[in-house]
Structure 1
Amino acid sequence: MHSHLSFENPPAEPHEVVVETLERALRDRTAAGEAANVLVGSALNDDVEFVEHWCVQIGTRAAPGSPLLGLAGLCLGHTARRFGRLSEEALALSKSLAARAEADPSDVDGRAVDGYDDVRDFLHLW
């Protein structure tokens, strides 16, 4: 008997749901799982300004060691892939989160490095 795992990308949620969920996760680390789903859903489906804003909010406000830090970096990579651009602030954050991940994976997980690799690939920053 084989068991097959499946993964489905989360859908985009209404902005008010995303904002409430992410703000709650910034106050209460136990909400990180739900926040991860709404952030990824936004990164894959929402407009560039909204995604960048919330990645920057997470990337600058989440506590060191929060799993949302690496995820914000990864989502900036998705955003660069989808739109072929990032704001200077988002680009600087992506680079900073990747550097933090390389320096101390217990601070920011390696998804930030993967995200910055995508940023460099899709924005031709090599």
Structure 2
Amino acid sequence: MHAHRGFHTPPALPHDEVAEALERALRERSREAEAEAADALVGSALNDDDREFVEHWCVEVGTRAAPGSPLLGLAGLCLGHTARRFRRLGEEALVLVESLAARAEADPSDVDGRALDGWDDARSFLHLW
């Protein structure tokens, strides 16, 4: 029997809840904390109208998560979502999404392939081809 994974779009949470969930995941590295952080980050990237807030937390996660953490690839993907939604990224976020993609290409056990999707989105929506 195969388990079917559905696509889940979490809502944007209040900023203090997002910050708390992400800080907890960066401290604890438990599956539960990472799952809550993933929902918080994705919900913000897809639904929060504060681009600077979303970018800040993507950069925090993308620079502070341990090598091999699933949150690294997710941070890159969420920066791609941010580029798509707002048609811009700050310089630090742009450098990070490219760096995470390069790491994913070099070693998928370090950063998963979602970072490559984020970089593709950023290049496409920011016309960086």
Is the partner of 1:79 in helix, strand or coil? helix
Percent same amino acid at aligned positions? 77
* Corresponding residue number in structure 2 for 1:45: 47
Paired residues, number: 124
Q: Kindly tell me: are residues 25 and 88 of structure 1, through their superposed partners in 2, closer, same or farther at Cα, counting changes over 3 Å?
A: same
How big is each residue's C-alpha offset from its partner over 1:13-54, in whole Å with a ceiling of 9 and x where there is no partner? Answer: 000100000000001111111100000000011110000000
Q: Kindly tell me: are residues 6 and 67 of structure 1, through their superposed partners in 2, closer, same or farther at Cα, counting changes over 3 Å?
A: closer
How big is each residue's C-alpha offset from its partner over 1:29-84, in whole Å with a ceiling of 9 and x where there is no partner? Answer: 11111100000000011110000000000011000000000000000000000000
TM-score using structure 1 length: 0.95
Instruction: Supply the AA of the counterpart residue of 1:20.
Output: E
TM-score using structure 2 length: 0.93
From 79, 83, 95, give the equivalent of 1:80. Answer: 83
Partner Cα distance (2:51, 2:17) in 1? 17
How do 1:1-126 residues align onto structure 2 when only pairs under 5 Å count?
A: 6-30=6-30, 31-46=33-48, 47-126=50-129
What is the root-mean-square deviation in Å for CA atoms of aligned residues? 1.3
